[in-house]
Structure 1
Amino acid sequence: MEMREVTVVTGSFVGFQLLFSVASPLLSSAFTAGYGRLSPAKHTEWNSRFVSTIHALIVGLFCVYILWFDDAVNEDPVWGDPRLVKLNVAITCGYLLYDLVLLARNWDTMGDSFFVCHHFAALYAYSYVLTRGLLPYFANFRLISELSTPFVNQRWFFEVLSYPRTDRLVVANGVAMAVVFFLVRIAVMPPYYLRVASTFGTPAFERLGLGAQVAWITSCICLDVLNTVWMYKIARGCYKVLTGAGRKPKGDKLNHHTDSHSNNHRD
């Protein structure tokens, strides 16, 4: 890993920590009185989701820019010039490290072994990009899923502020969440896997080596199985809200960590 990527990962880690401990409390208390009435545990999760939303917007929009304008990556998805992708991945790695520290410090209220395993797996997968510069197109493509995260977090904000589920803002956000989640996590599967299949048997694919090939394919399949399950839950919840079929089951709640790194890795 080059010094530039190390610097970005470090800066990302510090920056997200400052957003959590300084920016979120200041901005949230200024924009909504409900923030001050939350319990300490809810404060922590609120600040965590605030940071999650900022991270998602940064890397998601950067991902779209790369997909549209980085010709080197689009022309050679396995070994194309990874400089911009490395920056985006480094930002995400800094976020993942920040989130691991947050989970460790608040294990009693936020700890979840699944997310710890997920974060480490994502860091392992992204290490191939940062150290060897391989699979830049595919690593970046997975990050487009982050664009659904702000809507998931906003749903939680509405819920913790006791907005009625029939409120127009809540309904509008729920519909937007379902549509965006489908577009960036489900609708992209066919073109993504067609591009994956097009690399099979090529010299570029063989050059990856068995370890990278297995890590790449298996992580994508596992992630998209989860995305399909989450899409079903979101669609069911959206249907219930739109039709007034009753309150959504507890099992339909999504944790912000699940959505930020389905990604991923989060992806």
Structure 2
Amino acid sequence: MAIDAYQKKKGLLLKECLSAELFMPYTSVVGGILACKLVYGLSQSISALYFKSYSSLSNIKRVEWNNRAISTVHAVFIAAISIYFVFWSDIYTKHGLPGYITYHSSSLSTFTLGASVGYFVADLMMIFWFYPYLGGLEYIVHHLLSGSAIAYSMLNGEGQLYTFMILISEITTPGINLRWYLDTAGLKKSSIYIVNGVVIFMTWLIARIFLFIYLFCHVYMHFDQVSMMHDFGKLLVFGVPLVLFIMNMIWFGKITKGLMKTLSKMQ
């Protein structure tokens, strides 16, 4: 009787744990969407009170203003925690957890990815709703690829290390958004606008060029472990970073031309 009671209790505990593991990713996605809604509302209230240029903007410009506030908050959050996971956490090291590094994950990493999925879902819905004012086809491709890869890592626990490596590239977003804010506020000729351009160039080079090269090298060095992933997971690991890297190179060319044009006017 005692053994039967113990086994029954053990089974119930296991069932509860599995339910919690399945429940958490979806709640984090919903939480990410609700957080976007909260930031949007706060941006409306704060901007109307403290930024004179905000009230003079058209309705669609105000939408973009608040939308960029959401992307800035998400970028700061996800880039900071991604840097921690990739370079300081023991989760994705050889000595951190047993088994292949491509299968390492934790409750915190899964929750974080879920919140990021919530952001990409919310932002993608806004892009579709106001298309093409908040972004063209390239933004849709970027969000679909990124969101799909993050969602897969969140649900399956595969390749989370590479997902966080890619998410570090979000560190460039605040600079891009600040450039838009300065331009909208009529400060395109200010010194801070020029400094911002240099910062964008440097962060883009490091986070979206060099870091992706490091990712490709890491995949090559751990190819035996990557090859053990499911077919769809391998497709994401090999395909998504490559497509994003090509897009990053195209955008980097435009950033470089813009910076050179701005600096040449100073001479």
TM-score band, normalised by the shorter chain? 0.7 to 0.9
Pick the aligned partner of 1:153 from 154, 157, 177. 177
What is aligned with 2:61? 42
Name the CA shift for 1:114/1:186 in 2 (closer, same or farther; >3 Å).
closer
What is aligned with 1:231? 252
1-side partners of 2:174 and 2:54: how far apart?
18
Note the C-alpha offset of 1:108. Answer: 6.0
Deviations 1:82-141, CA, capped at 9 Å, x for gaps = 433322211110001111221233236336444334433333222321121011111111
Report how many aligned residue pairs link the two structures: 242
SS of the residue corresponding to residue 251 of structure 2 reads helix
1:135 equivalent in alignment to 2:159: yes
Name the CA shift for 1:185/1:47 in 2 (closer, same or farther; >3 Å).
same
| Cα-Cα RMSD | 1.9
Name the CA shift for 1:82/1:139 in 2 (closer, same or farther; >3 Å).
farther
Name the CA shift for 1:229/1:111 in 2 (closer, same or farther; >3 Å).
closer
1-side partners of 2:150 and 2:126: how far apart?
20
2-side partners of 1:219 and 1:104: how far apart?
22
Name the CA shift for 1:240/1:58 in 2 (closer, same or farther; >3 Å).
same
Name the CA shift for 1:237/1:52 in 2 (closer, same or farther; >3 Å).
same
1:198 equivalent in alignment to 2:221: yes
What is aligned with 1:182? 205
2-side partners of 1:153 and 1:128: how far apart?
28
Give the AA of the match of 1:27.
Answer: I
1-side partners of 2:132 and 2:160: how far apart?
37
Note the C-alpha offset of 1:81. Answer: 2.6
User: Max radius of gyration: which structure?
Assistant: 2
Name the CA shift for 1:187/1:23 in 2 (closer, same or farther; >3 Å).
same
Give the AA of the match of 2:61.
Answer: K
Give the AA of the match of 1:136.
Answer: Q
Q: TM-score, normalised by structure 2?
A: 0.84
Q: TM-score, normalised by structure 1?
A: 0.84
Name the CA shift for 1:117/1:229 in 2 (closer, same or farther; >3 Å).
closer
Pick the aligned partner of 1:169 from 180, 192, 201. 192
SS of the residue corresponding to residue 168 of structure 2 reads helix
Moved more, 181-190 or 146-155: 181-190
Give the AA of the match of 1:130.
Answer: M
What percentage of residue pairs aligned between the two structures are identical? 23
Note the C-alpha offset of 1:8. Answer: 1.0
Q: Deviation above 4 Å: which 4+ runs of structure 1?
A: none
Name the CA shift for 1:107/1:231 in 2 (closer, same or farther; >3 Å).
closer
1:58 equivalent in alignment to 2:77: yes
Could you tell me which runs of 5 or more consecutive residues in structure 1 were left unpaired when the two chains were aligned.
247-267
What is aligned with 1:85? 109
Give the AA of the match of 1:237.
Answer: G
With CA pairs under 8 Å and 6+ residues apart, which has the higher RCO, 1 or 2? 1
Deviations 1:171-209, CA, capped at 9 Å, x for gaps = 111111111111111121332111110122x2x323213
Given that 1:66 and 1:84 are in contact with CA atoms closer than 8 Å, whether structure 2 keeps it comes out as no
Deviations 1:148-167, CA, capped at 9 Å, x for gaps = 000001101111111133x1
Pick the aligned partner of 1:221 from 217, 242, 251. 242
2-side partners of 1:104 and 1:230: how far apart?
22
Note the C-alpha offset of 1:214. Answer: 1.7
1-side partners of 2:55 and 2:132: how far apart?
22
Name the CA shift for 1:117/1:181 in 2 (closer, same or farther; >3 Å).
closer
Give the AA of the match of 2:249.
Answer: T
What is aligned with 2:24? 4
Name the CA shift for 1:130/1:33 in 2 (closer, same or farther; >3 Å).
same
